[in-house]
Structure 1
Amino acid sequence: MRVPVLAPELVLCAVEQPLASAWLAVADGRPGVRVHPGSVLDIEAQAVVSPANSQGWMRGGIDAVYARAFPHVEQHVRSAVLAYHGGELPVGEAQIVATGEEEPAWLISAPTMRRPGEHLPSETVHPYLAARAVLRLWQEGRLEDGRPIRTVVRTIAMPGLGTGVGGVAPETCAHQVAAAWDEVFSSLGVG
């Protein structure tokens, strides 16, 4: 039986103008990528991205917003980090957990830093690694019940990766996310 592949849509979200401008610069010419100048929680999406830390603590930045919006999601993330990754989800890997809500039903945790509050060096590639992990999980991963993620999640809302607490420049983040998109979706003939 063939598994239907939904046309993916990545919505790059920014509440601040510098990131929105950086997103717009890289979204142009990439089918399946669009920009929303506002919160990830304003988007009709099946999943949102959490650029958390490797331990899964969700106490600052957008992660704190998620923890308030989805009261049990931090425990779900931390439990999955412990159960499947020995207590530390490395930068460059991602996991998906239920939010407990109808929409978005899923949160994809993709760390941009090892420890909470870590400031990233200017030459970091962590936004690229996190974005690539999200996109690979989206296309190749499976939910706990065995369903391919790509058949359940059509739209993912993504905030800046490392642009808050991590201190990554919006342009750096945008270019690295675009590079990850191109790498993952070029083999599929998308983007």
Structure 2
Amino acid sequence: MANAWLAVADGRAGVRVHRGSVLDIHAQAIVSPANSQGWMRGGIDAVYATAFPQVENNVRSAVLALHGGELPVGEAQIVATGETEPAWLISAPTMRRPGERLPVDTVHPYLAARAVLMLWLTGRLEDGTLVRDAVHTIAMPGLGTGVGGVAPSTCAHQVAAAWDEAFNPLHV
């Protein structure tokens, strides 16, 4: 995944590639390429659920309370991790159901990345603080590249397209 990120990172200010665990990055927020129901039982989500014992309950509660039980692919929700760093987890579904294998021609990594970036640009925390004022670094793993089966290069190119749309809308 790191090689795929490196292939698209050049020329995109603010993008840094880290080789290793996403949990090793000093960040205020971490991205969960979740499923729409907020279950965190597989892939990187299971790692997050172990590292942050309250987070799955926080995601599920937010999905139920704010999204009627299903956070659609293409939307994102920020919740507290229960830890000081990262303090926030951004749930951005890449699949509707847990364990779903994504089709080769999926655009779900793009939709998830775009949702994360739009949340950062315009979203608010529960206390009304702009997300971008509280979160300066977001750690993002591959989106859909584990359980979903998306090729790392596909993910990286789709995340780059979302980045370009969010931060340089005339580029697309």
TM-score by structure 1 length? 0.88
**Is 1:43–2:40 an aligned residue pair?**
no
**Offset of residue 186 of structure 1:** 1.0
Give 1:187 deviation, angstroms: 4.7
Q: State the distance in 1 between where 2:14 and 2:2 align.
A: 17
Q: Deviations over 1:14-66 (max 9, x none)?
A: xxxxx111000000111100100011110000000000000000000100000
When the two chains are superposed, the root-mean-square deviation of aligned CA atoms in Å is: 1.2
Match of 1:107 in 2: 89
Q: Which residue does 1:143 correspond to in 2?
A: 125
Find 2:41's aligned residue among 45, 59, 64.
Answer: 59
Structure that is richer in strand per residue: 1
Partner amino acid, structure 1, of 2:110 = Y
Structure 2 portions without partners, runs of 5+:
none
SS at match of 1:36: coil
- Scaled by the length of structure 2, the TM-score of the pair is 0.98
Runs of 4+ in 1 over 4 A off after TM superposition: none
Deviations 1:150-182 (A, max 9, x none): 000000000000000000000000000000000
Verify: 1:86 aligned to 2:68, yes or no.
yes
**Structure 2 residue 151 is the aligned partner of structure 1 residue 169:** yes
The one-letter code sitting in structure 2 at the alignment partner of 1:186 is N
Gaps of 5+ in 1: 1-18
Partner SS, residue 33 of structure 1:
coil
Question: Partners in 2 of 1:187 and 1:114 — Cα distance?
Answer: 28
In structure 2, C-alpha distance between the alignment counterparts of 1:149 and 1:21, rounded to whole Å: 29
